């Protein structure tokens, strides 16, 4: 218990010393004059307004670029991809048609050969 009482007394002394030292330090501070205070305040407000204006303008510029630039690019890419798909479909259809024509020609060729063979056979039989 004796230690607790002693600690309380020391804390009280520390608080008084702190307050005295704090007051002494504040007296050493060189406070700005009213003119300096006004000048510095005006400078800070002007710089904040200039920065806010620059950020606002950049926001508008980037929004416009996004609206007209990126969206336009998206539409171009989309239309190009659709054109590519259409071209691929046309190529596939052309290849299928060519394959069908080739198959028909092969079938017709075989049929002509058979017809010639049959005609020759008939001629020899007669």
Q: What are the tokens at 9?
A: 């007394």
Instruction: Name 37's Cβ contacts closer than 8 Å, sequence gap at least 6.
Output: none
Q: What are the tokens at 20?
A: 């005295």
Distances (CA, A) of 122 to 46, 100, 108, 112: 112, 33, 21, 15
Could you read off the pLDDT of 72-96 as tens digits, one per residue? 777 777 777 777 777 777 878 788 7
Q: Is the pTM of this model over 0.85?
A: no
Could you read off the pLDDT of 15-35 as tens digits, one per residue? 788 989 999 999 899 989 999
């Amino acid at each position: 218990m004796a230690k607790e009482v002693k600690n309380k007394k020391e804390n009280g002394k520390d608080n008084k010393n702190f307050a005295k030292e704090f007051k002494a330090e504040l007296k050493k501070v060189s406070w700005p004059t009213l003119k300096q205070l006004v000048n510095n305040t005006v400078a800070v407000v002007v710089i904040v307004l200039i920065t806010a204006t620059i950020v606002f303008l950049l926001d508008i510029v980037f929004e416009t670029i996004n609206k007209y630039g990126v969206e336009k690019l998206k539409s171009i890419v989309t239309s190009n991809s659709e054109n590519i798909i259409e071209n691929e479909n046309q190529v596939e259809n052309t290849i299928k048609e060519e394959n069908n024509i080739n198959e028909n020609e092969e079938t017709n060729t075989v049929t002509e050969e058979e017809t010639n063979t049959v005609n020759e056979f008939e001629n020899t039989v007669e």
